[in-house]
């Protein structure tokens, strides 16, 4: 199933409730939580995520770009459909996955472009979703790193071979022009920030992206 998850990193935070209404046809809303340590940017925290969950009916896809995610993941899971932590930041990835699921959310893990598939493949069976970063995490508006798509294909082949129900998400540089090729590589969930929020009709753009990802 193809899912489009607009990143509110590209939204107008001064008018966030209106911005959320403008993407009401999204499958998920991607919420980037950055701590200024794991990544060189600072965004929002738990109180804002809680409030976002109260003013939209679209499920939240919370992406923790923070140090020590095992201390925070379960707290965010109370307000989210899925919580994604970074493999590179977790002291105990399996314990973090377990805590997210115990709190009632889908457990997802993100991988930076430089991290090899072999480093994390042993955890795929425990995940609901794998997020392959196709840009360096921390800032919106970057161009897709084509080489990172190789991990998408490896992860999809691995999941299919093992009979895993693993969703594969791509975050970074997703556009109308490349979403079909990303889907062909094996992704089914697409984070799109600039591509959605630059459009005059955001819901129409979401439908366009979804249609392009399905038409293979």
| Collapsed DSSP state (helix, strand, coil) of residue 22 | coil
Distance of alpha carbon 121 from alpha carbon 107, whole angstroms: 15
Question: Looking at domain 3-214, which CATH architecture does it have?
Answer: Alpha-Beta Barrel (3.20)
- 171 catalytic? Reply is yes
pLDDT of residue 144: 83
Six-digit token string for 141: 């508006």
Instruction: Identify the bridge partners of residue 6 per DSSP, sorted by sequence position.
Output: 192
Radius of gyration of the chain (CA): 16
Six-digit token string for 151: 């991990």
pLDDT of residue 15: 95
Kindly name the residue from 27, 32, 61, 128 that is annotated as catalytic. 32
Q: How would you write 50-94 as a 3-class SS string?
A: HHHHHHCCCCEEEEEECCCHHHCHHHHHCCCCEEEEECCCCCCHH
Average pLDDT, the chain: 95
What pLDDT digit, counting tens, does each position of 21-70 carry? 999 999 999 999 999 899 988 899 999 999 999 999 999 999 999 999 99
Domain spans in the chain, listed from the N-terminal domain onward: 3-214
- Contact predicate 148/109, CB 8 Å: no
> Which residue ranges of the chain lie beneath pLDDT 70?
138-141, 215-216
Six-digit token string for 89: 């930041």
pLDDT of residue 145: 81
pLDDT of residue 141: 67
Distance of alpha carbon 117 from alpha carbon 98, whole angstroms: 21
| Collapsed DSSP state (helix, strand, coil) of residue 193 | coil
Kindly name the residue from 35, 61, 128, 171 that is annotated as catalytic. 171
- 92 catalytic? Reply is no
Distance of alpha carbon 170 from alpha carbon 181, whole angstroms: 12
């Amino acid at each position: 199933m193809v899912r489009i998850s607009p990143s509110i990193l590209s939204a107008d935070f001064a008018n966030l409730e209106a911005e959320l209404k403008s993407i009401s046809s999204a499958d998920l809303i991607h919420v980037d939580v950055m701590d200024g340590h794991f990544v060189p940017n600072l965004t929002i925290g738990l109180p804002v995520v809680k409030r976002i969950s109260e003013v939209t009916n679209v499920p939240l896809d919370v992406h923790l770009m923070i140090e020590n995610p095992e201390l925070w993941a379960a707290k965010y899971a109370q307000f989210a459909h899925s919580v994604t932590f970074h493999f590179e930041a977790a002291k105990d990835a399996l314990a973090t996955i377990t805590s997210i699921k115990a709190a009632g959310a889908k457990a997802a893990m993100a991988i930076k472009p430089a991290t090899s598939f072999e480093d994390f493949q042993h955890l795929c069976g425990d995940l609901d979703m794998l997020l392959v970063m196709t840009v360096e995490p921390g800032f919106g508006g970057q161009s897709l790193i084509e080489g990172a798509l190789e991990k998408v294909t490896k992860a999809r082949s691995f999941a299919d071979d093992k009979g895993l129900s693993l969703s594969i998400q791509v975050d970074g540089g997703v556009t109308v022009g490349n979403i079909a090729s990303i889907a062909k590589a094996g992704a089914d969930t697409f984070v799109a920030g600039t591509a959605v929020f630059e459009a005059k009709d955001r819901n129409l753009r979401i439908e366009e992206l979804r249609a392009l990802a399905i038409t293979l």
